[in-house]
Amino acid sequence: MTPPSIRLFNTMTMQKELLEPAVPGEVGVYVCGPTTYSYIHIGNARTFTSFDVVVRYLRHRGMKVRYVRNYTDVDDKIIKAAAETGETAVELSARYVEIFREDARALHLLEPDVSPKVSEHIPEIIGIIQKLVDKGHAYASQGDVYFSVSSDPDYAKLSKRNLDDLCVGERVQPGEQKREPLDFALWKAAKPGEPAWESPWGPGRPGWHIECSAMSARYLGESFDIHGGALDLIFPHHENEIAQSESASGKPFAKYWMHCGFLDLEGAKMSKSLGNVVRLRDALGKVDPEALRFFFLSTHYRHPLSFTDKGLADAEARMEYFYETLRKVDERVAGKDFGKGPVHGEPHRFFTEFEAAMDDDFNTAGALGSLSGLFVLMNELADKPPVKDKPLVGRTLQALREDVRKASSVLGLFEDDPAQWLLRRRERAVRERGIDVAEVERLIGERTAARAAKDFAAADRVRATLKEKGVDIMDTPAGTTWKVAPAHGG
């Protein structure tokens, strides 16, 4: 099979490059995972969703992917948070790992092939640090161990920063034992009450950056294909990963670097220091998880994305349109045999466009645009009177529906039963708008009786009454159903 021509933007070279894995047909992917001291925010969720789709698409294209996303369960923030809750750092971290997994499942994130924890890889971490000390790239200082930035002539090649500029304003912080301001901790000497492990330099715990170097090397090798994360990890985290990994191994670290753009909250970059962080758990309580996923994917992963109430409402309305279309199509074609023969037009052209967009740096926005055309055609065909439901139309709808399933496996969307999704959507809207379901059902019963008696004027009056209550009704081959109308006529 001819390998697909997938191009991705490499932050290291600042240009799109053809994906050429070290082992043809096999791709190693490492993504920096959550630090488990609190709920993740929606900026984190966008990053994890973007790389979830990258992995799904590579597999769709026939590649064997080994996907690694870690948990940082040893960190200053975890220790601080545990002190505030009265838990041990281990207890608090384990609790937030499970919370993250729950939220990830709600967001349709695939479980990575490996989800390593820092606490379970201390020997690998110590091994890399020892290599760096032996090679003169690191030094011990009163129980701490630091990487010597000046020992790496290529330092800052990812971020393209000037070392002289970086040094301006930098200083050795109180409690640090490093020689130069830019040097960073590989190992931190133990403090009372903190988690600690034995090491050649005394009891302590790893620094942040060394963790990912050790875990990626363990599961993907000292050189691998794709390293991903959020844009704000380029410096210093990813820069330091490269320095310590390549200094220890003498080999190139990751071939391709991919970074997800910032998510803005009403135009302000999300930042805990700004106090404008929206937790994923809170967002999932207010918007359908699949609609939130659609919202993330509606913008190219490298571009900034503004998180607004209108954007979320639009995403939910769009998902409702998609699922209403799928319900209509399923009612028309599910379980039916239309035989073999021609189809209407070129229904597969939309999926061809979908793959072309995804081949171009995983452009989910362009891919969703192609699917919009597919859904328009499905609606046109599904709305044709059943008497005209000839095999040609049926075969075409089935072909389009199958392409939606293939796109679904890539995007993690449209995976639910349409009727079940629409019912959940309606139940949420009913609660938010305070609609009396029993009254709605009673009025629909009255309308059904009026139509049976051919009293269409009365049926129209009931429809108008329901409309005033914020309810839209739809007559389908399976009977009359209803939904909550968009607020304010939007």
Give the residue ranges of the annotated binding site for Zn(2+).
32, 212, 237, 241
CA distance linking residue 448 with residue 357, whole number of Å:
46
- Reported as type and span, the H/E element at residue 336 is none
- Higher confidence at residue 158 or residue 338? 158
Residue 343 is encoded by which pair of tokens?
């189809």
Q: Which residues does the annotation place in the binding site for ATP?
A: 272
Q: Residue 342's closest CA among 374, 404, 390?
A: 390
The CATH 3.40.50.620 portion of the chain extends over 7-283
For the stretch 429-472, pLDDT in tens is: 888 888 888 998 999 899 989 999 999 999 899 899 999 888 99
**pLDDT tens, 185-242?**
999 999 998 999 999 999 999 999 999 999 999 999 999 999 999 999 999 999 999 9
For residue 3, the model assigns a pLDDT of 64
Q: Are 461 and 473 in contact (CB under 8 A)?
A: no
Residue 120's contacts (CB-CB under 8 Å, 6 or more residues apart) are none
pLDDT at 489: 43
Predicted confidence at residue 490, as pLDDT, reads 39
Torsion of CA 408, 414, 417, 422, to 10 degrees: 180
> What class, spelled out in words, does domain 7-283 have in CATH?
alpha beta
264-282: per-residue pLDDT in tens? 987 777 766 667 779 999 9
Task: Map residue 378 onto helix, strand or coil.
Answer: helix
Angle (CA) 48 53 56, round 5°: 125
Q: What is the chain's mean pLDDT, rounded? A: 92
Alpha carbon distance 302, 7 (integer Å): 14
Domain 309-418: CATH class, spelled out:
mainly alpha
At position 414, the amino acid (one-letter code) is: F
pLDDT at 284: 92
CA of residue 380 relative to chain centroid, distance: 32
Q: How far lies 62's CA from each of 2, 25, 27, 164, 383, in Å?
A: 10, 7, 11, 46, 36
Distance CA 385, CA 387 (A): 5
pLDDT at 1 over 60: no
Q: Where in the chain is the domain with CATH 1.20.120.640?
A: 309-418
Residue 22 in contact with residue 13, Cβ under 8 Å? no
Binding-site residue ranges? 32, 212, 237, 241, 272
Query: Cis peptide before 123, with omega less than 30 degrees from 0?
Result: no
Given a cut of 70, is residue 389 above it in pLDDT?
Answer: no
Q: pLDDT > 70: what percent of the chain?
A: 95
The secondary structure element, H or E, covering residue 327 is helix 309-333
User: Model confidence over 53-109: pLDDT tens digits?
Assistant: 999 999 999 999 999 999 999 999 999 999 999 999 999 999 999 999 999 999 999
Q: Which pTM was predicted?
A: 0.92
The answer to whether the Cα torsion of 55, 59, 63, 66 is positive or negative is positive
Q: What integer pLDDT is reported at residue 273 of this predicted model? A: 61
pLDDT of residue 433: 87
